[in-house]
Amino acid sequence: MTTADKTVLILALALIAALYAHSWAPAPAAESARVSSAGKPDLWLALGADREVVIEGVLGPTDLEIRDGRIRFRRAPCLGKHCIHSGWLASDGDFAACLPNAVAVQVVGKGTGFDAITF
Amino acid sequence: MEFEVTREDIRIAWLTALALGMYVLEMAFPSPLPGFKPGLANIVTVAALVCFGWATAAWIALLRVLAGSLLAGTFLSPGFALSLSGALASLMVLGLAVSVSRKALSEVGYSLLAALAHMGGQIGAAYCLFIPHAGLFKLLPVLMSAALVFGLLNGIIARSMTQVLLAK
């Protein structure tokens, strides 16, 4: 290996380290959550203060819990409870929905990590 | 009409055949993840670059992509487009490296540059042509790490190959 080879190798290692740092940095902390419920305007909830919010869905009241800058479905009148099993939504772009109930929650920070999610 | 076959043509044909052999051999290996391939055929490109110059290396690399795609049945498929863009990117970087470094680089440096450029060109093409989503770049560091390792190994193999070739 010549000196130039070593220079190339070091530059390549630096490039890869920079790529890891850039692409794999943890998602920015969430700031607020957008709650969509059928037939109603979107509701924006700040995630700063811990509390519970009741949303009126198509099937009935749905409890959302906000704690430590995260949000989750706590109680929902649907059958499958997929929304509750989605657990805490903490990072930018995290999304959960209660489809039978037509309630969806997306956590939003400075920029969203995903542009669409399918189940 | 007759074509004059030069020594250079015959050399390119032999080396391309060698690169194709390596390419086909490599197809037999299972890949742990899509995109992880040792790129053994690049050994021939790098060795040819050092022994016979950039033009010969470019012929070998491009003919290998074309004939390899015919053998694999992927001619003009998305895989072929990625393969071609990777080869073009690595040839551009190799051409630049040859003119800038003026023999300061050995096979190892060339192979490393070629592998990284190949991967970069492929991901760039995949983004522009097939998956225009920023999520693709999450793969970039992992694939580039693989390119670094394989580029180094291929460079070492190319080095021992040229030492035998040039000793004769």
Per-residue pLDDT tens for A62-105?
999 998 888 999 999 988 899 999 899 888 778 899 999 899 99
Give per-10-residue mean pLDDT for chain B (168 aa): 88 95 89 81 94 94 95 91 95 94 88 95 93 83 93 94 85
CATH number at residue B66: 1.10.1760.20
| Cβ atoms of B25 and B37 closer than 8 Å | no
Interface subset of A 22-81, CB within 8 angstroms of B: 23-24
Query: How far is it, in rounded angstroms, from Cα A82 to Cα A32?
Result: 22
Domains and CATH numbers, chain A: 32-108 (2.60.320.10)
DSSP state of A28: P
Q: Is residue B2 part of a domain?
A: no
A9 vs B116: CB contact, 8 Å cut-off?
no
Strand order across the A61-67 sheet: A51-56, A61-67, A70-75
pLDDT of residue A23: 83
Mutate which of B90, B94, B102, B106 to test chain A, going by most A C-beta atoms within 10 A?
B106
Domain count, chain B: 1
- Reported as a single tens digit per residue, the pLDDT across A17-57 is 999 988 887 766 667 888 988 878 888 888 888 889 998 88
A5 vs B145: CB contact, 8 Å cut-off?
no
Complex-level ipTM beyond the 0.85 threshold: no
Whether the pLDDT of residue A107 is over 80: the answer is yes
Three-state DSSP at A63 gives strand
Q: Nearest C-alpha of chain B: how many angstroms from A10?
A: 11
> Could you tell me which chain B residue has the CA closest to the CA of A12?
B148
Whether the pLDDT of residue A117 is over 70: the answer is no
Q: How far is residue B26 from each of residues A19, A22, B21, B68, B144, measured CA to CA in Å?
A: 28, 32, 9, 11, 19
pLDDT of residue B118: 95
- Reported as a single tens digit per residue, the pLDDT across B49-80 is 999 999 999 999 999 999 999 998 999 999 89
Q: Is residue B1 part of a domain?
A: no
A16 vs B144: CB contact, 8 Å cut-off?
yes
pLDDT of residue B36: 82
- The whole domain housing B41 covers 7-167
Query: How far is it, in rounded angstroms, from Cα B65 to Cα B81?
Result: 10
pLDDT of residue A113: 53
Q: Nearest C-alpha of chain A: how many angstroms from B141?
A: 5
Whether the pLDDT of residue A112 is over 60: the answer is no
> Could you tell me which chain B residue has the CA closest to the CA of A21?
B141
Alpha helices in B73-103 (DSSP H): 78-101
Q: Is residue B25 part of a domain?
A: yes
pLDDT of residue A49: 84
